[in-house]
Amino acid sequence: MTSTERFVPILIEPKYEGNIGAVARSSKNFGVKRLVIVNGPKLGEETRKYSMHGYDLIENAIFVRSMEKALEEVDHCVGTSGISDTAEKAYLRNPMDPERMVRWSRTVEGDIGLAMGREDFGLSRKEMELCDVMVTIPANPEYPILNLSHAAAVLLYEIWKGSNSLPNRNARMTSREERNILLDHYDRLMAVSDVPDHKRIISRVHFRRMMARAAPNVREFYSLMGTLSRAMDYKRNISPYRFAETSEE
């Protein structure tokens, strides 16, 4: 599998079938093989016209009813946003630029979803919370919002240009299931530590993004799980899981 084949555009409730066709065409240009569409419109001749030689991606696209279902098709999720806000409290929109996102992609294994929101307002808050990292395309601040298909073309070009080879690792990288277990463990630690409810969602997103950027391998996963377990045991001695540190076979 080539490096670009790891990337899977996930179109969240796109309104216009022409945009869907154009994304399929760009995907074909840059070696992407799969497409996921969440609650899309009825597809017809306009989709075929805009997709050109990428129409096979439309024919083989996966159609689902929610972003959560779409994420079952990938191991990581990159959310896209036309708004870049690096303020400390703007925890949902603190994105990477495309080049940094490509560098990050080299540190993780598995398939990477590119979640692209609606043409009018993009991704919802809930959907952004599900993203491991965010990316934005730098543009004229007077009009920074790109058309859906244009944004897809820019991102896929950057991926094609920058994704050459994956680094060799001595230990297996964590799976999405393992990262979700780690997140759940972090949730339990916040609960037993009496972190106020209104701060838990923000903290969880920060932890998810930090873990995604760090790209922990399985050894690091078990080390973190062990530390979190000990912290919960120390606080209330009610930890539901006990993970011993293990070595890779």
Q: In terms of pLDDT, which residue wins out, 238 or 194?
A: 194
Answer whether residue 1 shows pLDDT above 50. Answer: no
Q: Which helix (H) or strand (E) holds 26?
A: helix 17-29
Global pTM value: 0.69
- Domain residue spans of the chain: 3-162, 176-235
The H or E element that residue 189 is part of is helix 176-192
CA distance 29 to 21: 13
Is the domain defined by 3-162 classed in CATH 3.40.1280.10?
yes
What is the dihedral angle through the alpha carbons of 24, 25, 30, 36, rounded to the nearest 10 degrees? 0
Most confident residue range from 33-42, 180-189, 202-211: 33-42
Confidence class for position 236, pLDDT limits 50, 70, 90: low
Rounded to an integer, the average pLDDT of 20-49 is 96
Residue 49 and residue 22 in contact, taking contact as beta carbons nearer than 8 Å: no
DSSP string, 84-134: ----TT--S--PBPHHHHHHHHTT--S-EEEEE-BTTTBS-HHHHHT-SEE
Q: What is the pLDDT of residues 159-197, one digit of tens each?
A: 998 865 444 456 788 888 898 999 998 998 898 888 998
